[in-house]
Chains A and B, each alone.
Chain A
């Protein structure tokens, strides 16, 4: 069965989804979704280990040979992303049992797991495939299912948020498809490795440049790069809690992976960074995103929306690492993908617990909640510290490497800016912590209990991971370094 692991990674959730559609029973569907998520995580870890040891794993669908058939390729970079996506999925599903039962009407719960499984399958598929058009197909699977997931939020605003995302996401996917179409026009191939070869003599072509623009802008929309981010805060704020956790930890990361894959593997480092001022453009957008969105986050009074704005700012840090166009910068960016998935998942998990008990996560509603839900809010605090980048948490590690990468380039102001903007994170995290721990609970509120164990355990697994990867950094740093070197090495 070992040789089939790359395809099993994608088709297990893809097959489980229609099975859940036929069953429709809430608990049975949950059980299937949980089992599949865990198996997917096991497969992802096995694939990453194989890729780290023996180099890229290739799998030809239908035994059609590579440039003609669709090929799945697992190397160090996407093995790393697969583990992130599958791990977030494996943490979210046990948590979803209570959270979803509380937030969704009974008849929609089965469908929720169908959509979740499709979304998981789509995200894993985008990551694993070595075919440019196949990326688009899986992008649509994951996008359509995430629109449906977001619209399941319990307020009518969720419908509006989902619709907004649908419009923006469709534009993004269309741009991406136009870009892939232009590449196909120029080269007659869709296989990424083959594309890379065919594009080398075409570096001066304007059509290839246009394709580059379409692909980067299209994925930029899905990735919520600073000026293209407007769909994200509403989508994350109004989605059901479990969906916020899952999407915050995976969707934008996978989009960033696609950008990395295209600019490094397909177009190549020379074309992307030397032939055109892509690095400086990215640098400006990243810094603007970090500063503006951190400031906006400070003024939010809905905690989920606050975290969503912070996500856009954190995407800026990842792009900042990329914009340095050095191996160290790339490594820092990849590390931040991993660490940000951990900390944002933790924060949204904690907020899901609060929503379960209070039915709201507005700042005034959560006043004093730290006293009645100490475990939840301690988890929130620890993940918040990680988001800020306090030493001994995962967030510190990626910020540290970002600063190192900035200093390596000799960009002192950028290094200073990374540290300064972390202070903005202190402000918005403190705003929540202050309300939860230091304010008196509203007099009308009845006595509320701690969140159920089935939700606390996933939260604390993520919290523990935040601390573990801040303390024992060799694992994540080494994998990110190997992936970054592979990306840079592929071109030099």
Chain B
């Protein structure tokens, strides 16, 4: 869709604001509606919009699949790591009260960090899922062009 000048310009204009809105939903999640899940999806939608207009290849250069896949693991680790930190500081797993000098701040930091972990993982998963499905077309076309037969179908 790169030939449509309106789409091209608007997509370019909107993308940073979508990312900004995602970050707002992410970090305002403990006061208002929002949180990691929603923010992750909104964040990823900026990349998906970009990929739809400018093509998957260009989007891949901005968010390389390897980085996206690492994000899946890092987000979970951030979440679980916060839980373990609570354990190491003398509380129970996911006990945020011990994370700071007083319980109120601890709870606040804890929820911010784990929600950020959720956000990273959700965004990374959304981007990876989109790339996987979008990249599938190339694979299928290549297979038809070269006439590579499908995998053997013999039952074992």
Q: Which A residues have a C-beta under 8 Å from some C-beta of B?
A: 4, 7, 11, 14-15, 17-19, 21-22, 59-63, 155-157, 302, 355, 359-362, 365
Contact = CB atoms under 8 A, between A and B. Distances in A.
Contacts of A7: 87, 92-93
Interface string B129-150: 0000000000000000000001
Contact of B74 (A17, A18, A62): A18
Contacts of B77: 15, 18-19, 22
B80 A61 contact: no
B155 A61 contact: no
12 contacts: A18-B74, A21-B70, A22-B70, A61-B94, A62-B92, A62-B95, A155-B155, A155-B156, A156-B153, A157-B155, A355-B156, A365-B156
Interface string B57-72: 0000000000001101
Given A15-B84, A61-B92, A155-B156, 7 more contacts: A22-B73, A59-B93, A61-B93, A61-B94, A155-B151, A157-B155, A362-B156
Nearest to B78: A18
Contact of A4 (B70, B80, B92, B153): B92
B73 A302 contact: no
B76 A359 contact: no
A364 B84 CA distance: 53
A59 B87 CA distance: 12
A110 to B, nearest CB: 11
A112 to B, nearest CB: 15
A61 B77 CA distance: 17
Given A302-B155, A359-B156, A14 B94 contact: no
B34 interface: no
Contact of B150 (A4, A156, A355, A359): A156
Nearest to A72: B93
A156 B150 CA distance: 9
B6 to A, nearest CB: 40
Nearest to A10: B93
A15 to B, nearest CB: 5
- CB-CB nearest 5 A-B residue pairs: A18-B73, A21-B73, A62-B94, A7-B93, A18-B76
Contacts of B152: 155
Contacts of B97: 63
Contacts of B119: none
Nearest to A355: B156
Interface residues of B, number: 27
Contacts of B81: 15
A18 B96 CA distance: 22
A359 B154 CA distance: 12
Contacts of A360: 156
B86 to A, nearest CB: 7
Interface string B76-113: 11001101101100011111110000000000000000
Nearest to A362: B156
Contact of A62 (B96, B150, B151, B155): B96
Interface of B: 69-70, 72-74, 76-77, 80-81, 83-84, 86-87, 91-97, 150-156
Contact of A21 (B72, B150, B153, B155): B72
Contacts of A63: 91-92, 95, 97
A14 B92 contact: no
A302 B80 contact: no
A360 B152 CA distance: 14
Nearest to A15: B80
Nearest to A303: B156
A62 B85 CA distance: 11
B96 A14 contact: no
A485 B55 CA distance: 64
A4 B77 CA distance: 19
Contacts of A62: 86, 91-96
A82 B76 CA distance: 24
A155 B70 CA distance: 28
Contacts of A59: 92-93
A354 B37 CA distance: 45
Nearest to B70: A22
Greatest chain A CB density within 10 A among B73, B152, B153 is at B73
Of B84, B87, B93, B95, which is in contact with the most chain A CB atoms at under 10 Å from its CB?
Answer: B93
Contact of A17 (B76, B84, B153): B76
Nearest to B150: A156
A33 to B, nearest CB: 15
Contacts of B80: 11, 14-15, 18
B83 A155 contact: no
Contacts of A22: 70, 73-74, 77
B73 A19 contact: yes
A361 B151 CA distance: 19
A155 B153 contact: yes
Contacts of B151: 155-156
A468 to B, nearest CB: 33
A130 to B, nearest CB: 14
Looking at A63, A155, A362, the one whose CB has the most chain B CB atoms below 10 A away is A63
A63 B81 CA distance: 17
A302 B156 contact: yes
Nearest to A153: B156
A361 B155 CA distance: 10
Contact of B93 (A4, A157, A361, A365): A4
A220 to B, nearest CB: 29
Contacts of B155: 155, 157, 302
The CB with the most chain A CB atoms within 10 A, among B91, B92, B95, is that of: B92
A194 B70 CA distance: 40
